[in-house]
Amino acid sequence: MDATFLEQILIIFVLSIGALALCYRLKMPGIVAFFLTGVIAGPHGLGLITNRADVEILAELGIIFLLFTIGMELSLKSLLEMKKGMLIGGVLQIGLTIGVVAVIASAFGLAPPEAIFFGMLLAHTSTTVMLTVFQHRGEVDTPPVRLALGISVLQDLSTVPMILLVPILAGMGSAGVVPSLINFGIGLALLGVVTASALWIVPRLLYRVASLRSRELFMITIITLCLGTAWLTFRAGLSLALGAFLAGLIISESEYSNAALSTVIPFRDIFTSFFFVSMGMLLNISFFAAHAPLIIAIILGVIIIKAIIGAVAVLPAGVSLQNIVLTGLAIGQVGEFAFILSRTGIEYGLLSPSLEQIFLAASVGTMTVAPFVIGSAPGVTAIVRRLPLPKWLKERDTSLEETPVNGPEKGHIVIVGFGPMGRHVADAARSMGIPYVAIELNPKTVREERKKGEPIFFGDAIHEGVLAHAGVEGARVVVITIPNAATARQVTAIARKMNPECAIITRTRYMEDSLSFYALGADEVICEEFETAAEVLARVLTKYPVPKAEIDRLVATMRTERYAMLREASEQVPSLRDVELHLENARIAIVRVEDGAPIAGKTLAETGLRKKYDVTVLAIRRGAETLAAPDGGTVVEAGDLCILIDAGMGNGEVSSLFRRRSAR
């Protein structure tokens, strides 16, 4: 074995470890880390990788395994089962993006085939980036996120016909169009072969292999099917990636797809990382520096254009304005499948070297800022609401004309969010004869539940008008079950302002968020993280000779002490019920001081928070201790949880004071 090859692989792995750790701390997608590794190790960086051809071989395997697993996960059956909103939204988003980008690119001098191909590249969105961001925010199961992910899935599927269309685009206006059409016909014929194989041949083959109960034989058979199909399509004049995808589709329709997927995933993760590293090696830092203003403008333009198109594409789905904005922003970055498609475009001459550099820089840029773009959804929604929107869109956003069924006026429960938790509360209230009203943002849920006679209506509870429509001023209890912590905090503050006497019970995923809800006026905060831990402990103890009464007592004591500690801490914080939250521009923020943050180790007076930024520190939570109303001599330490009130419009510099300063 060539020691140089092993040395280069080791360099990539070592650099990837550091880059992944950095991106994790900065809450950036892992894909960006592999690009960064390629930039550093490549010929335009430190030049640590001298033989790029070796990496290219591993990268090609990465493409094969990536598309193979996508084919297994995105079967023909799953496409047929996609909801109407996702299908219509996905088709509109892809078509509009290709059309708009092609027109703009043509205006800048690109030939029609190149302009159309560039539109095809930008039509993709990264499913991986979206999943990473929304999993961290705990919002994967919310309606707008499911819609955005569904559209992204359709974009992934569209890569296959786009790969087939690339030779046709390359042959437009020349004699090469006839061979391209022949290749396209071969591709369609291969789809027919795939269908026949998926129905009759492969299931029987895998049954025979699985019946021998040899894990090694099964693994080798799956990999052979993957590489063999990719090789056959390549020999037929098509791409390896297309063949791998078709192989995945073949296996996806069999009952062995799950076992096959788990077999291939480790190979996919390793080799796919080499693919993104190889793409990073192509990025010329000198080119980026020389054209930085243009590339930054393109990054901003791509995000804005894709966000607008994404928002327009989901209008037929009947979602609220808040969900429209969030879906649009989530779609506003470029996906990993665009890089796979770009390889085909380079092969057929549709992507010039300079255009390739612009595409790489813009794509990596949109992926890098994606978490921050998605996080800006509430602010962008507030700005959009102030625009002169059509009446039908404003009515959809509030839907106040819908009157709740038998809605009570006083002493009832207001349930914000009608997911599983909200339904349980409604069932319990109904069984005890307690009146209630539910507010829900999913129009399908509202329609179905109203048919059943549920007192539910469509609306966004961050609007006072929606809460007033639910009668929150006369409610005895407000139960907030929505998973989005930022939105839940807004609803808590507004509900407390509208009804100082009601009991507010809310949920949160993480223990560290509990104090912020108490500070905003919640009476009870149910923490999923702690409740899960308590339930796991109870189940563990049942496996030992511990009396059930003793287990119940222990768990009850844990709950009492934990929640009592949080309530006690919240009482030491100046009550936000007495803060003038209704004053325009006032904002409450809960931030943690990271290790190495500029503010760590300084007194409040030295930080200049109040003098420079008009920000007041109401309290500091340090371990089990709460420092209420700290003075200017209080030293801020790493790990502190600070409760702030910002009387101004907010300043981006403030949040950077609490974050670890990255090394340059």
Report the mean per-residue pLDDT for the chain.
Answer: 78
Q: Which letter does DSSP use for residue 474 in this model? A: G
User: Is residue 401 pLDDT above 60, yes or no?
Assistant: no
The answer on 503 and 455 residing in a single domain is: yes
In a domain, 237, yes or no: yes
403 pLDDT tier (thresholds 50, 70, 90): very low
User: Is residue 440 pLDDT above 70, yes or no?
Assistant: yes
User: Is residue 39 pLDDT above 80, yes or no?
Assistant: yes
Q: Which letter does DSSP use for residue 469 in this model? A: H
CATH number at residue 420: 3.40.50.720
Q: What percent of the chain has pLDDT over 70?
A: 79
Boundary-marking domain end, from 346, 380, 414: 380
- Average pLDDT of 155-163? 80
User: Is residue 373 pLDDT above 70, yes or no?
Assistant: yes
582 pLDDT tier (thresholds 50, 70, 90): very low
Task: Please indicate whether residue 58 or residue 525 has the higher confidence score (pLDDT).
Answer: 525
List the domain range (segments joined by +) for residue 323: 3-380
In this structure, what token pair is assigned to residue 574?
């100046």
- Average pLDDT of 136-140? 66
The answer on 504 and 469 residing in a single domain is: yes
- Average pLDDT of 144-154? 79
pLDDT (0 to 100) of residue 405: 46
Virtual torsion, Cα 53, 57, 63, 68, nearest 10 deg: 170
The answer on 593 and 565 residing in a single domain is: no
Lowest mean pLDDT among 46-55, 198-207, 558-567: 558-567
List strands edge to edge, sheet with 456-458: 456-458, 436-440, 413-416, 477-480, 503-508, 524-527
The answer on 562 and 643 residing in a single domain is: no
pLDDT (0 to 100) of residue 102: 92
The answer on 196 and 234 residing in a single domain is: yes
pLDDT (0 to 100) of residue 35: 83
In sequence order, what are the beta bridge partners of 478?
414, 504
The answer on 463 and 487 residing in a single domain is: yes
Boundary-marking domain end, from 516, 539, 572: 572
How many Cα neighbours within 13 Å face the side chain of 120?
27
In a domain, 634, yes or no: yes
pLDDT (0 to 100) of residue 363: 85
Q: Are 244 and 71 in contact (CB under 8 A)?
A: yes
CATH number at residue 368: 1.20.1530.20
C-alpha distances in Å from residue 97, one per residue of 11, 49, 105, 170, 357: 39, 37, 12, 20, 20
In a domain, 635, yes or no: yes
Give the C-alpha separation, 187 to 344, whole Å. Answer: 15
User: Is residue 499 pLDDT above 60, yes or no?
Assistant: yes
Task: Please indicate whether residue 301 or residue 231 has the higher confidence score (pLDDT).
Answer: 301
User: Is residue 225 pLDDT above 90, yes or no?
Assistant: no
In a domain, 473, yes or no: yes
SS3 405: coil
In a domain, 362, yes or no: yes
- Average pLDDT of 517-523? 81
Residues 6 or more apart in contact with residue 110 via CB below 8 angstroms: 118, 355
Give the C-alpha separation, 194 to 224, whole Å. Answer: 16
CATH number at residue 595: 3.30.70.1450
In a domain, 487, yes or no: yes
Q: Are 592 and 512 in contact (CB under 8 A)?
A: yes
User: Is residue 138 pLDDT above 70, yes or no?
Assistant: no
pLDDT (0 to 100) of residue 2: 61
The answer on 358 and 215 residing in a single domain is: yes
Q: 């809450």: which residue's tokens?
A: 27
Q: What is the pTM of this model?
A: 0.60
User: Is residue 246 pLDDT above 50, yes or no?
Assistant: yes
The answer on 427 and 361 residing in a single domain is: no
pLDDT (0 to 100) of residue 565: 57
Backbone φ, ψ for residue 198 (5° rounding): -65, -30
The answer on 435 and 532 residing in a single domain is: yes
Lowest mean pLDDT among 14-23, 355-364, 422-431, 568-577: 568-577
Residues 6 or more apart in contact with residue 495 via CB below 8 angstroms: 414, 467, 472, 478, 480, 502, 504, 521
Task: Please indicate whether residue 452 or residue 653 has the higher confidence score (pLDDT).
Answer: 452
pLDDT (0 to 100) of residue 302: 92
Lowest mean pLDDT among 176-180, 490-494, 543-547, 572-576: 572-576
Model pLDDT for residues 264-303, shown as the tens digit of each residue? 777 777 777 887 888 788 778 888 888 888 889 999 999 9
Lowest mean pLDDT among 186-195, 208-217, 553-562, 632-641: 186-195
In a domain, 553, yes or no: yes
Residues 6 or more apart in contact with residue 452 via CB below 8 angstroms: none
Give the C-alpha separation, 279 to 63, whole Å. Answer: 12
The answer on 594 and 513 residing in a single domain is: no
User: Is residue 161 pLDDT above 70, yes or no?
Assistant: yes
User: Is residue 343 pLDDT above 70, yes or no?
Assistant: yes
Boundary-marking domain end, from 380, 411, 437: 380
Domains held by the chain: number: 3
The answer on 206 and 276 residing in a single domain is: yes
The answer on 480 and 331 residing in a single domain is: no
In a domain, 648, yes or no: yes
Lowest mean pLDDT among 249-253, 600-604, 611-615: 249-253
pLDDT (0 to 100) of residue 552: 80
